[in-house]
């Protein structure tokens, strides 16, 4: 039987497990946190919300929800080349079930510890299950990666593999058995924090892939007033994805699936060796998948013959009719 906590017990439960850092002058327990930003560093702020049934399936384990709520925010910091520092958490739950909360915190704090992030505040409210996180990171002045910095002739790169999370979601939606490796990618995306930091100073533009590769690359191209040509056969795929889907489904999942939380970045051709060395140093697989063109705003995926391939849909939009 579930144990129900009051709001204050819930905050005490969270506070008891929150790690701290030397630059946290005042953490959980007051009206706000007080933090010290080191001299000569700029502050990077990202905020993302996960709602049940929209951003994760209803049957997602509480620990995976906790992990993912922080992961999607750290992925945004990674795409800026920032070093994660602090976060705040707003947790809306229908009722305060102690076992559920403990599971949620297991996943949340596991990732927070991995990336040295201190939880310094937030709030808990009653409502439909929803998790909002604001993550704070640090970058050197003018050191942040931006999506609007792609240049014509740049290589386009991607970390990791594409399509796994969307594949798990499709299996879940169609009611077939979900491959465990794919499900792990849906439930526990790994923010590319070390890769993002290593790319600051090497890459031109960078964005994390959450809406789908072509959609997110499109955002970067429009912001940079350039185009992109992607070699569809160069897109990295996991063996689990290749085993479970035919080549047309595979392409659709890789280009438009979303929820990958890999970094898509552009860099000059002269940086190829530096990128491969930097990614090897942080154990991050990386693939070169295309080039930036002058065809402003146009993102093309092409097969080996050079023919354009159009995915069935581009990206996932909330509110799409």
Show contacts with a second copy in window 145-164 (CB under 8 A): 146-148
Any contact of residue 12 with a second copy (CB under 8 A)?
Answer: no
Residue 118 beta carbon to a second copy: minimum distance, rounded to whole angstroms: 11
Interface residues for a second copy in 38-57 (CB under 8 A)? 39, 42-49, 51, 54-55
Q: How far is the CB of 134 from a second copy (least distance, A)?
A: 4
| Four-point Cα dihedral 36, 39, 40, 44, nearest 10 | 10
Among 6, 248, 294, 310, binds a second copy (CB under 8 A): 6
Angle at 286 between CA 283 and CA 290, to 5 degrees: 170
The DSSP 8-state label assigned to residue 233 in this structure reads G
Selected range binding a second copy among 119-127, 162-170, 239-247, 301-309, rule: CB under 8 A: 119-127
Max Cα-Cα span within the chain: 63
Residue 198 binds a second copy (CB under 8 A):
no
Least CB distance to a second copy at residue 302 (A)? 25
Instruction: Return the structure tokens found at 225.
Output: 């007033």
Q: Which is nearer to a second copy, 37 or 180 (CB)?
A: 37
Q: Is 128 in the site for a second copy (CB under 8 A)?
A: yes
- Please report whether residue 64 would count as binding a second copy according to CB under 8 A: no
Considering only 62, 66, 107, 144, the residue that binds a second copy (CB under 8 A) is: 144
Touching a second copy, residues 224-263 (CB under 8 A): none
Residues 86/33, Cβ–Cβ less than 8 Å: yes
**Residue numbers 73-112 binding a second copy by CB under 8 A:** 75-77, 79-80, 82, 86, 88-90, 92, 95-96
Q: Which of 134, 118, 68, 124 minimizes the C-alpha distance to 101? A: 124
Residue 24 pairs with which residues in a beta bridge? 35
Q: Judged by CB under 8 A, does residue 124 bind a second copy?
A: yes
Which of helix, strand or coil describes residue 131? strand
58 near a second copy (CB under 8 A): no
The answer to whether 293 contacts a second copy (rule: CB under 8 A) is no
CA distance 128 to 7: 15
| Structural contact between residues 300 and 229, judged by C-beta atoms closer than 8 angstroms | yes
Q: How is residue 68 written in tokens?
A: 């993912």
Given 137, 160, 191, 258, the residue binding a second copy (CB under 8 A): 137
CB of 84 to a second copy, least distance (A): 11
Q: Which is nearer to a second copy, 80 or 186 (CB)?
A: 80
Q: Considering only residues 2, 99, 127, 153, which one is a binding residue for a second copy as defined by CB under 8 A?
A: 127
Backbone angles phi, psi at 200, to 5 degrees: -60, 125
Which tokens sit at 70?
């922080």
Strand, helix or coil at 287? Answer: strand
Q: Which one among 2, 37, 99, 113 touches a second copy, defined by CB under 8 A?
A: 37
Kindly state whether residue 139 participates in binding a second copy, applying the rule CB under 8 A.
yes
For 207, the enclosing helix (H) or strand (E) is: strand 206-208
- Tokens standing for residue 123: 């709030």
Beta-carbon neighbour count of residue 4 at 10 Å? Answer: 11
């Amino acid at each position: 039987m579930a144990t129900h906590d009051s709001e204050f017990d819930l905050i005490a439960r969270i506070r008891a497990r929150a790690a701290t850092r030397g630059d946290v002058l005042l953490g959980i327990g007051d009206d706000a946190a007080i933090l010290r930003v080191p001299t000569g560093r700029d502050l990077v702020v990202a905020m993302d919300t996960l709602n049940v049934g929209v951003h994760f399936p209803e049957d997602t384990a509480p620990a995976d929800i906790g992990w993912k709520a922080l992961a999607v925010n750290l992925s945004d910091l990674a795409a800026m080349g920032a070093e994660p520092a602090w976060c705040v958490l707003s947790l809306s739950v229908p009722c305060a079930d102690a076992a559920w909360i403990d599971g949620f915190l297991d996943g949340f704090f596991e990732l927070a510890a991995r990336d040295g992030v201190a939880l310094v505040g937030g709030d808990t409210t009653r409502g439909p299950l929803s998790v909002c996180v604001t993550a704070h990171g640090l970058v050197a002045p003018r050191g942040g990666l931006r999506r609007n910095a792609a240049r014509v002739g740049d290589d386009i790169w991607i970390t990791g593999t594409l399509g796994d999370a969307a594949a798990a979601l499709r299996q879940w939606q169609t009611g077939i058995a979900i491959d465990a490796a794919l499900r792990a990618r849906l439930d526990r995306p790994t923010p590319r924090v070390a890769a993002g930091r290593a790319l600051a100073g090497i890459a031109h533009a960078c964005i994390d892939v959450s809406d789908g590769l072509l959609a997110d690359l499109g955002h970067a191209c429009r912001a940079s007033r350039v185009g992109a040509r992607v070699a569809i056969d160069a897109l990295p795929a996991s063996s689990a994805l290749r085993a479970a889907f035919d080549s047309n489904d595979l392409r659709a999942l890789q280009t438009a699936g979303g929820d990958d939380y890999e970094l898509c970045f552009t860099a000059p051709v002269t940086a190829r060796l530096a990128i491969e060395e930097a990614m090897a140093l942080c154990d991050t697989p990386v693939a070169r998948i295309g080039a930036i063109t002058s065809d402003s705003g146009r993102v093309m995926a092409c097969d080996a013959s050079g023919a354009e391939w159009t995915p069935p849909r581009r990206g996932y939009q909330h509110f799409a009719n």
